[in-house]
Structure 1
């Protein structure tokens, strides 16, 4: 059985990913080519997870069969949740190639992918529309647009001007890159979860499922599926 690498890459298009294979000794070169000129650089490919497995040709065919309905014809691109693909690849027996195990172990990658996929699935249950986060002190009144599972805060809105020490680095970077010195959002910003959007608005760790509300004041947690 031949040994090789299965990998998954993100693109600049949310919900569009690449799944592929390569020889172990060609992995770095393959990633370099794809990240610098894959699909003529239109899709902005970025490596997200890679694992060395036995019988990698057969395992890639299995992945192609599983995700056949999501495949973009004539390509290795799939209209698929990135974390679902990572969850499946990281469940294979094999040696993790990327990220390096010293940064994140295979179990950590799997756990994060499961958590993110669960959140992704929950987000799809939020009906299209506009939702609101408001508070009196300090005053905030921000709208979040949901369309086809995409959560967006539009440019021109006022959000909290200061970051709390509890804010995670992802939300901190989003705020730094998209909010001006007056607390005004400079660009439309998309989010992977309501809590990430709420943290962006408030400058602190937040449960967006309870903070974002419908026009009649009901938390969007009402749309989230619960176990019986």
Structure 2
């Protein structure tokens, strides 16, 4: 039985993913090439999940069949929710290759949670939300976030707090955010209100409660209203 890696990557186009396969020893090289050069005239590719499995040719063919209606003709691109793909791949029996710091069970659970959260996100009106929070000895965070087409955009000019002491993991939007002297220099696009809060607050938070509308309503209030 041939062993190899099946992977899924997000692209710069929201809702468009790449599903592919590669030999075990070729994974890093393949990821480097795709992330640097793009694929099928699509750029901004970024690895999200990869697993080493037996019979990887057959398993990739099965995925192609399952998702055939969502496939961009003549390519390995699919119009799919990437967390759905991660759920499926994480359910395979094999060795998780990426992310290295997580188990298959953790990846599956996180993807499941994100899919549930996306259902809630549809209840949030597209508008500008505000955050103001003080941390003793660290100052006050002040920021604006624009919700637009499912994206949560932290606006440039936000006053951000330093990362909390003892934090062992920081989401990429905060790691790469252009923060100079505590001020965000450019907009940062995130995929959840809590990640947007991370960019500003430098630590874990409940994004449903820290962001408020101009009328003072939390995002959670919109969610509860839609569910009533």
Q: Structure 1: which 5+ residue stretches go unaligned?
A: none
Q: CA–CA distance in 2 between the matches of 1:87 and 1:128?
A: 28
The residue correspondences of 1:105-184 to structure 2 (distance < 5 A) are: 105-135=103-133, 140-155=141-156, 157-165=157-165, 169-170=169-170, 174=174, 177-181=177-181, 183-184=182-183
Report the CA distance shift for 1:167/1:217 in structure 2 as closer, same or farther (over 3 A).
Answer: farther
Q: Distance in 1 between matches of 2:27 and 2:162?
A: 42
Could you say which residue in structure 2 is the equivalent of 1:87?
87
Q: 1:200 matched to which residue of 2? A: 199
TM-score, normalised with respect to structure 2: 0.77
Secondary structure (helix, strand or coil) at the match of 1:125 reads: coil
Aligned length: 224
Distance 1:7 1:206 in 2: 30
Take 1:176 and 1:77, find their aligned partners in 2: how far apart are those partners? Answer: 27
Aligned to 1:185: 184
Secondary structure of 2:174 counterpart: helix
8 Å contact 2:144–2:158 — kept in the other structure? no
Q: Find the aligned partners of 2:69 and 2:145 in 1 and give their Cα distance.
A: 31
Structure 2 stretches lacking a partner, 5+ long: none
The whole-number CA distance in structure 1 between the counterparts of 2:194 and 2:60 is: 35
Give the TM-score normalised by the residue count of structure 1: 0.77
